[in-house]
Structure 1
């Protein structure tokens, strides 16, 4: 099983569509599910996640529409690497994050998960 981590060079550890999908699936399990559930419960958080998702799409969409799993996974790895460089790690336990007070990088990762789900990248 691939571990979820980022390297100093923002790329998914093992490139390829299937591995990118596993990476995104693992990210969904770590932050996406809890973050998206919280967003559905809190309209202001949902608005923030939607804004982040729009920025994610703008950054990774191939032809302004198509989102590829590898590009999305690489983008998420870059966010993870930036977080790690500043001492910000993913939560280790469900319910550990107060999503209404979540830091930017966690909201961006939740948005990556939302885009992955809507783009059939999981």
Structure 2
């Protein structure tokens, strides 16, 4: 006689299982969101720029009749990363993003768009 429950490995109480969309947004937050948002909150001009990108993301999601949630924001971020790679651009690795507001003012648009995705994800409670 077999015990069906033995086929499943137990999950410890300390284990955290993230939704794949949340995990991707969390990674993007580590790569550009933390430093980008810190710089934006320190510089009103940069914050206005990030807000403009956030408005464009909201408009794109509304046009696609998608809610502002983890799944939609993650999919949007993946499309921005893919477009950037096709154009020969990169997304900074965690710890490699600019730290000064002036450096963010001159960064590529796709990086600012990803910071805006992180802002929206945080505002929506998707992280």
- Corresponding residue for residue 48 of structure 1: 49
Deviation at 1:93, TM superposition (A): 5.6
Q: Gaps spanning 5+ residues in structure 1: where?
A: 1-16
Q: Gaps spanning 5+ residues in structure 2: where?
A: 1-17
Q: CA RMSD in A?
A: 2.2
Kindly provide the CA deviation profile for residues 16-66 of structure 1, in whole angstroms up to 9, marking residues without a partner as x: x81001000110010000000111111111000001111111222499794
**Separation in structure 2 between the aligned mates of residue 109 and residue 62 of structure 1, nearest angstrom:** 19
CA contact (8 A) 2:22 2:126 kept: yes
Q: Over alpha carbons, which structure has the higher Rg?
A: 2
Aligned length: 106
**Separation in structure 2 between the aligned mates of residue 64 and residue 84 of structure 1, nearest angstrom:** 26
**Separation in structure 2 between the aligned mates of residue 21 and residue 93 of structure 1, nearest angstrom:** 16
Deviation at 1:86, TM superposition (A): 1.1
CA gap 1:18/1:96 in 2 versus in 1, 3 angstroms? closer
TM-score by length of 1: 0.78
